[in-house]
Amino acid sequence: MDALDADVLYAGVGDVAWSFPIMQGDVFRDVSLPGFDTPMTVQVVMHPCVMREGDGRLRPRITVAPVVEYEKVTGYVWAKHLRVMPLPKLVPDGGTDHATAFVDTTSSPSSELTLERRIATLSQPGLLVLQQRLIVHATRYAEVDLESLRKQSAPVLMECELQTDWVEAVIERGGQTLEVVDAATTEFLEWLGNGEGSRRERLYNEANYPALRRETRAEIALRYE
Partner 1 sequence: MTMLQETSAPATTTPRESGDPVVTWAPSVNPGWIHHETALLVDRAQMLQGDVAELHTDAKEIDLAARTVGKARKSVTGLLAELGQDRGMSWSDIASWARVSVSAVRKWRQGGDSTPDNRNRLAMIAALLDWLSEYMIEDPAQWLEMEFPLPAGYHVRPLDLLFAGHVDGLLDIAAQRESVESVLDDTDPDWRDTRRSDFEVFDAGDGHRAIRPRKR
Q: Which residues bind partner 1 (CB under 8 A)?
A: 7-8, 10-12, 17, 49-50, 123-125, 142, 144-145, 147-149, 151-155, 161, 168, 172, 204, 206-207, 209-214, 217-218, 221
**Minimum distance, C-beta of residue 151 to partner 1, in the bound complex (Å):** 4
Task: Yes or no: say if 46 and 109 are a contact pair by the CB < 8 Å rule.
Answer: no
Pairwise CA distance, residues 91 & 184, whole Å: 30
**Minimum distance, C-beta of residue 12 to partner 1, in the bound complex (Å):** 5
Task: Yes or no: say if 165 and 216 are a contact pair by the CB < 8 Å rule.
Answer: yes
* Burial grade of 134 (CB within 10 A; 0-12, 13-18, 19 or more): buried
Query: Judged by CB, which is closer to partner 1: 55, or 147?
Result: 147
> Residue 31 CA to chain centroid, in angstroms?
17
**φ/ψ bin of 25: left (φ > 0), alpha (ψ from -120 to 50), beta (otherwise):** left
Query: Judged by CB, which is closer to partner 1: 103, or 142?
Result: 142
Query: Judged by CB, which is closer to partner 1: 141, or 179?
Result: 141
Sign of CA dihedral 130, 141, 108, 49: positive
**Minimum distance, C-beta of residue 36 to partner 1, in the bound complex (Å):** 31
**Minimum distance, C-beta of residue 33 to partner 1, in the bound complex (Å):** 27
Query: Judged by CB, which is closer to partner 1: 10, or 188?
Result: 10
**Minimum distance, C-beta of residue 19 to partner 1, in the bound complex (Å):** 9
Query: Judged by CB, which is closer to partner 1: 67, or 171?
Result: 171
Query: Judged by CB, which is closer to partner 1: 5, or 69?
Result: 5
| Own/partner pairs, 81-84, CB within 8 angstroms, 24+ separation | 82/1, 82/133, 82/136, 82/137, 83/137, 84/133
**Minimum distance, C-beta of residue 32 to partner 1, in the bound complex (Å):** 28
C-alpha atoms less than 13 angstroms from C-alpha of 169 in its C-beta half-sphere: 19
Query: Which residues, including other chains, have CB under 8 Å from residue 147's CB and lie 6 or more apart?
Result: none
Please tell me whether residue 11 adopts helix, strand or coil conformation: strand
